[in-house]
Amino acid sequence: MKLNCVVVDDSSIQRTIIAKLVNNHPGLHLIGDFSNAIEAKSCISLNNIDLIFLDIEMPVINGFDFLDGLKSKPQIIFITSKAEYALKAFDYDAADYLQKPIAVDRFNASVKRAIDMHLLKKEVKEEEGEHIFIKSNLKKLKIFTAKIKWIEAFGDYVRVVTEDDSNLVLSTMKSFENDLSKDKFIRVHKSYIINIDKVERFNSKFAEIGITKIPLSRNKKEDLVKALSTS
């Protein structure tokens, strides 16, 4: 897992330094670096950003005003040469506050904190996420629907394939169709229901999820195209 991140600093030298630290870190993926908040905001609106390395003192729009204008706020690591902003920075729930010049060890410690916070939030989200219960091998299992890849008719059973494993359930495809969100799941064949978020490629005959080709019924391609365009 890597955190998608951007660097926002009006100093080209500082941007280069931070970008190099990001590119050298195995847990980070640099989406872009920007000299001003306006360019950064445009990038954030178009990409899934997990972490921003943000300078506070910038012309036109400073770091705090920039954050105030974001509808959805990624994690923030503030970067500045002045210590007096630290208290206000933590009012914004910052992951950390780095003072220039930045030491590599201190940078890595901040990133570790951000990654730990990201994983914790992900776990909480999964615990609270949409789920169903299935009965398999005399056990009742809680399955998060976001992890389901596809559901397949298997004789008198239904096979539920997730990111983690697969389970056989004595049930019907119709029952699963009724239980799952129609915004995320679509019946593409008499024997298959797929999670549209897991589809990587498709053509007139198959939808591909990983290395698995799921057959499409002749009249289901248009339904899949429509579902993917609105997801």
In this structure, the number of other CB atoms found within 10 A of the CB of residue 81 comes to: 13
Give the confidence band of 128 by pLDDT, cuts at 50, 70, 90. low
Phi first, then psi, for residue 85 (nearest 5°) are -85, -5
Question: Could you read off the pLDDT of 22-69 as tens digits, one per residue?
Answer: 999 999 999 999 999 999 999 998 899 999 999 999 988 999 999 998
Looking at 84, 103, 127, the residue that finishes a domain is 127
Q: 63: which 2 tokens? A: 């770091």
Residue 142 and residue 158: Cα distance in Å, rounded?
16
Partners of 51 in the β-ladder: 5, 75
- The reply to whether 187 and 213 lie within a common domain is yes
Which CATH number goes with the domain that contains 184?
Answer: 2.40.50.1020
228 confidence band (pLDDT: 50, 70, 90): confident
What span, in angstroms and rounded, lies between the C-alpha atoms of 140 and 137?
8
**H or E segment and range at residue 143:** strand 139-144
The total of structural domains in the chain comes to 2
Same domain? For 89 and 152 the reply is no
Provide Rg for the chain, Cα atoms.
Answer: 23
Most confident region among 87-101, 114-128, 157-171 by mean pLDDT: 157-171
Q: Are 84 and 101 found together in one domain?
A: yes
When pLDDT is averaged across residues 4-25 and rounded to a whole number, the result is 96
Strand pairing report for 28-34 and 3-8: parallel
Alpha-carbon distances, residue 167 vs 119, 144, 150, 193, 213 (angstroms): 26, 13, 11, 15, 19
End residue of a domain, out of 65, 100, 127? 127
Q: 139 or 111, which is more confident?
A: 111
DSSP 163-190: SS-EEEES--HHHHHHHS-TTTEEEEET
Residue 216's domain comprises: 131-229
pLDDT at 36: 93
Q: Among 127, 155, 180, give the residue marking a domain's end.
A: 127
User: What pLDDT score was predicted for residue 126?
Assistant: 64
Residues 93, 153, single domain; the answer is no
Residues 179-214 pLDDT 10s = 898 889 999 999 999 999 999 999 889 999 999 999
